[in-house]
């Protein structure tokens, strides 16, 4: 895989494999067909068990999944930090998949969005496959698309809750590769330290990994393209989003990320002008509370 340089907060960094990780957890090297174990974590304080939230069949509406209100412990921002919480998340809707090339092109054709600049051969906007996730989009372009669609970018807390559920799963589907190998569950690198072996050679069609769905039925929250959220980046996020920062948070990892950076707790950041081939987004929507009664 060829490293693609890009600018983050005034520094020239290599694309995902060389990029400095804001949070990393070293896992054992595993190939496809093997379980991807969680990295050993430092001792954590005893946490009071969260109340069990009954989960029925996922609810879908207009391509969005209902994320019903709940309480969870947000993962540690750094390997040595403790989880934050309990945090309460109000009900909201989240796109079932990442925003596609077809949906983004439609926004451009209406004159509401700007076509992304082609920063790499892996940029998907000019692809013949309208079901690829749109990538190479800046934060402002992502936010503009969601707003014109009557939606918004999810907050970081909302995004993580949708990916991990009240159970606080390590990955959207559970723990590690579940005996199937990461490549059957997400579009990431095939192993933690093997940069030469990838599950895919770039972004893949949205929804290609139904077995990797989150507890709410949301797809592609691990790998494919990492996703912009609305929050400024801070090292230790709290229940209130920060009012300023040097860049915005990206969640979920991408096709060029090792498995540890595709965890539900993993987080990176980039400047608002970042528009690389690993960067995409999905939208959220807040509905009147009466819909959730």
pLDDT digits (tens, 9 = 90+) for 39-97: 454 444 344 443 343 456 889 999 999 999 999 999 875 556 667 778 999 999 999 99
**pLDDT band at 2; cut points 50, 70, 90:** very low
59-293 under CATH 3.90.1580.10, yes or no = yes
The three-class DSSP label of residue 194 is coil
φ, ψ (nearest 5 deg) of residue 266:
-70, 140
238-275 confidence digits (pLDDT tens):
778 888 888 999 999 999 999 999 999 999 999 999 99
Alpha helix segments (H runs only) across the chain: 101-109, 139-148, 156-164
182-215: b (≥16 Cβ within 10 Å) or e: bbebbbbbbbbeebeebbbebbbbbbbbeebbbb
Task: Tell me how crowded residue 140 is: count the other CB atoms within 10 A of its CB.
Answer: 13
């Amino acid at each position: 895989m060829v490293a693609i340089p890009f600018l983050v907060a005034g520094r020239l960094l290599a694309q995902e494999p060389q990029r400095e990780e804001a949070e990393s957890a070293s896992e054992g090297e595993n190939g496809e067909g093997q379980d991807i174990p969680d990295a050993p974590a430092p001792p954590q304080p005893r946490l009071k068990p969260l109340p069990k939230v009954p989960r029925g069949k996922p609810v879908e509406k207009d391509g969005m999944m209902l994320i019903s209100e709940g309480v969870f412990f947000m993962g540690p921002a750094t390997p040595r930090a403790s989880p934050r919480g309990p945090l309460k998340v109000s009900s909201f809707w989240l796109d079932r998949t990442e925003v596609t090339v077809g949906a983004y092109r439609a926004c451009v054709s209406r004159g509401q969005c700007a076509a992304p600049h082609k920063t790499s051969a892996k940029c998907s906007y000019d692809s013949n496959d309208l079901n690829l996730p749109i990538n190479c989009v800046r934060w402002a372009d992502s936010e503009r698309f969601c707003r014109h669609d009557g939606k918004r970018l999810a907050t970081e807390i909302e995004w993580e809750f949708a990916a991990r559920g009240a159970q606080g799963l390590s990955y959207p589907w559970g723990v590690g590769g579940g005996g199937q190998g990461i490549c059957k569950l997400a579009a990431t690198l095939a192993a933690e330290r093997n940069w030469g072996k990838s599950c895919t050679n770039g972004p893949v069609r949205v929804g290609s990994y139904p077995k990797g769905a989150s507890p709410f039925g949301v797809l592609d929250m691990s790998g494919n393209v990492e996703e912009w959220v609305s929050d400024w980046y801070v090292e230790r996020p709290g229940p209130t989003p920060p009012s300023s920062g040097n860049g915005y948070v990206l969640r979920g990892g991408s096709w060029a990320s090792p498995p540890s950076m595709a965890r539900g707790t993993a987080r990176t950041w980039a400047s608002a002008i970042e528009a690389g081939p690993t960067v995409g987004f999905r939208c959220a929507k807040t509905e009147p509370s009466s819909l959730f009664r």
